Every structure is written in C-alpha cells, then in structure tokens.
Amino acid sequence: AQSVTQLDSQVPVFEEAPVELRCNYSSSVSVYLFWYVQYPNQGLQLLLKYLSGSTLVESINGFEAEFNKSQTSFHLRKPSVHISDTAEYFCAVSTYTDKLIFGTGTRLQVFP
C-alpha cells in the first residue's frame, strides 16, 4: 500500500521569501506524484505532477518539485512567494491503478 507524509501542517512565511513544503511517500512499486492546491472554499486543483522523465517538474506560477527516489521525497519549492500563494497544499501519490492517496496537507500562510 502507498502512503504520503507531509511533515509540516502549517508553514508561515513572509512575502518574497523562499518556501519549501515537504512531502515523503512510501510505496513498494513505481508511483506517480502530485501536488494539489486548495484555495479557501474551493476544490483541489492540480499544481504539478511527476509521471516519468525529468525529475524536476514546474508549475506555471513558479512552483517546482523534484522527485528524489532514493529519499522517497517530492518536496515543493518556490523561490519567492506572493500573498496569493496562501492556500492549502496537498501532496498525493498514485500507482498504475489510478487510486490517488493524499497527504494531510500543509497550510501555507504568506504574510506581507
């Protein structure tokens, strides 16, 4: 069975500072990895994904994540955050069977 651990439940940061949201997974088979973002009172939206190929993946709004197989990690980073990045971020893992397992989420709070 697969599992996902998000080590930080909340991450406060000032605007324009860098941020890293940590995610570790456990699986005995090859996985696909995802980050989803949830803004207040909305559903989850896909931020970025790793399926295969380059281990570094990027989103259109400046986030990136690197798949590290040896450390079973898929940490999310952004070099300079904005107020509008305030949201809850979920790491997720799936396998060939398409069942997606989510972590418990990390609330990113960006302060001016």
Partner 1 sequence: DAGVIQSPRHEVTEMGQEVTLRCKPISGHNSLFWYRQTMMRGLELLIYFNNNVPIDDSGMPEDRFSAKMPNASFSTLKIQPSEPRDSAVYFCASSYAGGQGTGELFFGEGSRLTVL
The angle subtended at Cα 57 by Cα 53 and Cα 61, nearest 5°, is 155
Smallest separation, CB 93 to partner 1 (Å): 8
95 is a contact residue toward partner 1 (CB under 8 A)? yes
Contact between residue 22 and residue 7 where contact means Cβ atoms under 8 Å apart: yes
**Among 74, 15, 25, CA closest to 47:** 74
Binders of partner 1 in range 24-63 (CB under 8 A): 32, 34, 36, 41-46, 49, 51
| Residue closer to partner 1, measured from CB, 36 or 63 | 36
Q: What is the DSSP letter of 39?
A: -
Site residues for partner 1 per CB under 8 A = 32, 34, 36, 41-46, 49, 51, 90, 92-105
